[in-house]
Amino acid sequence: LTALADEALNTFENIVDGAQALSVPTLRLGVTGLSRAGKTVFITALVHNLVHGGRLPLFEAAASGRLARAFLQPQPDDAVPRFDYEAHVDTLLDERVWPQSTRQTSELRLTIEYESATFLKTMLGRGRLHLDIVDYPGEWLLDLPLLNKDFSTWSREALERARDPARNTLADDWLRALAATDPAMEAEETRARDLAARFTAYLAACRADDHAFSLLPPGRFLMPGDMEGSPALTFCPLDLESGGSAKRGSLHAMMERRFEAYKKHVVRPFFREHFARLDRQIVLVDTLAALNAGPAAVRDLEAALAGILSCFRPGRNSWLSGILVRRIDRILFAATKADHLHHADHDRLEAILAKLVEKAVARAEFAGAEVEVTALAAIRATREAQVRQDGTTLPAILGTPLPGERLDGETYDGTSEIALFPGDLPNDPAAIYEASTGPSPDLRFIRFRPPKLERTAEGLTLSLPHIRLDRALQFLVGDKLA
């Protein structure tokens, strides 16, 4: 009954939202991606460019001079933390370090004033659009399939994945502890905690740079938000005999109850309160990190992206379609950090991401959403140059490596600029599945410091440089400013 009341309240809130939107149109833009994909940097750069009149030639409203102004306003949802835009800008510009990454859901309202492109609308005066930007961890989307699984099915699948040769050594410690645990033993908090901690450590090891796996549910184990340490997160899959049900008071029964609590108190509310109200979505993907870690990471990323996309065509999940009032009509997949490559490779990066989402996208288009793929750098930390080496001219990128970054036996202190030949991406996107295991020897990536902002002769600070951020804006918002 409570669930029904919840659902009804949710529908009511959505209707109220809709009514409010009648006065000034509102567009709720979801920004997601797995941890460190670039969500925080993307939102900061997007807002900064709109507020400070950045160079956005592919964003039609800006290019044609119709963008009057953009400014921040109080967000509509009081219970959601505000995206800390000002602090992030200060960190980027004053300290030249990257801001603190996304750890939970946050929101920001940007109001855009524009001159309409059509004569009739111009007569009505300036147009206004509230762009509500909702930042949330992509890990949480990957929890959706849990809703259709019971504890024993989930345990079986999680164990199969952990025993896969690509992950086995990382899971070794947790698997040994499981082997020494009888699920029928009496429920004990310390044992549950110990197993959950080892399971979480296994997931974290899978996520680390050298493996860069993506499909690591439950999402809150690596990205707990405000739930760190709570009992709803103190469980893990168990090695169960098939068909056996949990004995009262057993460890099995305890883990099962917590798994169900996780679905009820964590997964469902997230989808209901945040996801169900989005109009448009950008999914940021650190494609380069997966390429750098090798084919196992690439395949895992592909599976995670299919999982993320399945949330956007909820027909397959009747619970989710039941709570959706709005419909997401545009989804943009963006390979981030394109400034790590020479521009000749940007299209290749795009083609690789397109390949990774190809099958899943075909199904989403069928469901009525428009999907596009792009490569971008929300903040461009490098410049391009031609460097002569041994009599030949090579395309290079110039940037200041972050302090502590290492490449070719050298450790950088973050003070001076270097030239780097990042290596080329394969021409045929299918090649990403073929390389031998381990980091690809042809690609060299290193993290750079954010750029120094240049000032004009009049002393004005220019907005943050980017690559194809304007193209993303055009697809996500452009048609609403007609």
**Min. distance of Cβ 477 from ligand GDP in angstroms?**
19
308, 448, 468, 474: which one binds ligand GDP (CB under 6 A): 448
CA 337 – CA 410 distance, rounded (Å): 22
Q: Which amino acid is at 352?
A: I
What DSSP element (H or E) covers 477?
Answer: helix 469-477
Residue from 27, 29, 30, 37 that binds ligand GDP (CB under 6 A)?
Answer: 37
Name which of 290 and 481 has its Cβ closer to ligand GDP: 290
Determine which residue in the list 10, 35, 105, 310 makes contact with ligand GDP, applying CB under 6 A: 35
Q: What phi and psi, each to the nearest 5 degrees, are found at residue 167?
A: -115, -15
Any contact of residue 339 with ligand GDP (CB under 6 A)?
A: yes
Check binding of 262 to ligand GDP (CB under 6 A): no
379 contacts ligand GDP (rule: CB under 6 A): yes
Distance CA 292, CA 219 (A): 23
For 449, phi and psi rounded to 5 degrees? -75, 155
Residue ranges of the alpha helices (H) in 130-246? 151-163, 168-179, 189-207, 219-222
Instruction: Specify the stretch interacting with ligand GDP by CB under 6 A; choose among 6-14, 98-106, 307-315, 428-436.
Output: 98-106
C-beta of 11 vs 101, nearer to ligand GDP: 101
Q: Which of 10, 28, 29, 36 binds ligand GDP (CB under 6 A)?
A: 36
Pick between residue 39 and residue 346 the one whose CB is nearest to ligand GDP: 39
DSSP sequence for 90-155: HIIIII-SPPPPP-S-EEEEEEEEE--SSHHHHHT--EEEEEEEEE--GGGGGGGGGGG--HHHHH
Closer residue to ligand GDP (CB): 268 or 348 = 348
Tell me if 106 contacts ligand GDP by CB under 6 A: no
Report if residue 183 touches ligand GDP, rule: CB under 6 A: no
- Which tokens sit at 294? 């090798």
- Return the range that interacts with ligand GDP (CB under 6 A); candidates 31-39, 213-221, 349-357, 406-414: 31-39
Residue of the chain from 91, 336, 440, 474 that contacts ligand GDP (CB under 6 A): 336
The C-alpha angle with vertex 411 and arms to 377 and 346, in degrees rounded to 5, equals 20
The residue among 94 and 390 lying less far from ligand GDP, judged by its C-beta, is: 94
Cα–Cα distance, 27 to 121 (Å, whole number): 19
Stretch that binds ligand GDP, among 28-36, 59-67, 197-205, 409-417 (CB under 6 A): 28-36
- Can you tell me the distance from the alpha carbon of 292 to that of 442, in angstroms, rounded to the nearest whole number? 9
Q: Does 98 bind ligand GDP (CB under 6 A)?
A: yes
Q: How far is the CB of 247 from ligand GDP (least distance, A)?
A: 42
The single residue among 10, 28, 30, 39 that binds ligand GDP, judged by CB under 6 A, is 39
Which single residue is written with the structure tokens 């409203």?
61
448 three-state secondary structure: strand
- CB nearer to ligand GDP: give 102 or 234: 102
> For residues 13 and 326, is the Cβ–Cβ distance under 8 A?
no
Distance, C-alpha 164 to centroid of its chain = 25
Sheet holding 383-389, edge to edge: 383-389, 392-399, 418-420
Q: Is 49 in the site for ligand GDP (CB under 6 A)?
A: no
| Smallest separation (angstroms) from ligand GDP to the CB of 39 | 3
* Max CA separation in the chain (angstroms): 77
Number of residues engaging ligand GDP in binding (CB under 6 A)? 20
To 5 degrees, how large is the angle CA 294–CA 341–CA 281? 80
We find the least distance from the C-beta atom of residue 416 to ligand GDP, in angstroms, to be: 17
Closest approach of ligand GDP to the CB of residue 172, in Å: 28
Residue number, 300 or 405, with CB nearest to ligand GDP: 405
* Closest to 37 (Cα-Cα) out of 337, 299, 298: 337
Judged by CB under 6 A, does residue 288 bind ligand GDP? no
Spatial separation of the C-alpha atoms in residues 71 and 459, rounded to whole Å: 22
Q: Name the residue nearer to ligand GDP (CB basis): 377 or 476.
A: 377
Site of interaction with ligand GDP (CB under 6 A):
33, 35-41, 98, 101-102, 336-337, 339, 377-379, 381, 447-448
